[in-house]
Amino acid sequence: MTEEDLPFGMIVFEMMKHFLKVLKKEMNHIDGDSTIEQMGLLIAISTNKKCIIQQDMADLLGKDKSSILRTIDTLEKRSLLIRIKDPKDRRKNIINITDLGKQTLKQHFEMERILTKSMLKGISEKELESFYYIIARIKRNAEKM
């Protein structure tokens, strides 16, 4: 079976599988303690403009609340983020990234930038523009479904 015969989702999955494998390997060189899920949570927290609570993270990342809680616990133990009681509702915790968390993200982004540059060798600017355009269009179409 050729790649053209595979379902679209399988092709995207295969690409992501290889990308994540390389990303995990490179992350281990920088920081053997971080997982892709932890970095994803840090990125989501750092890029969100409003106060983030645990339930927001579960909804945003499509994970169950207990899984997010374990990840938050781990990141808090490593001093990469901090939980603060919501002054409006003491049952909720607002999650903030620490300076160490910001520094860790900066290292991660630099590593990923170098990794991406290497993976994009041989791909022209025009091809890359087309790729981003097509991905954005697929995403918009999926959001409408």
Structure tokens at 98: 């620490």
Average pLDDT for residues 23-44, to the nearest whole number? 76
Cα 10 to chain centroid, rounded: 20
pLDDT surpassing 90 at residue 19: no
Cα 12 to chain centroid, rounded: 16
Domain boundaries, the chain: 3-144
Percent of the chain with pLDDT over 90: 17
Structure tokens at 77: 């133990």
Q: Which residues make beta-bridge pairs with 95?
A: 52, 83
Supply the CATH classification number for the domain 3-144.
1.10.10.10
For the chain, count helices (H), then strands (E). Answer: 6, 3
Q: Which residues make beta-bridge pairs with 28?
A: none
pLDDT surpassing 70 at residue 1: no
pLDDT of residue 26: 76
* Greater model confidence, 23 or 132: 132
Query: What residues have CB less than 8 Å from 77, skipping those under 6 apart?
Result: none
pLDDT tens-digit series, residues 62-115: 788 888 888 889 999 999 998 888 788 777 777 888 999 999 888 888 888 888
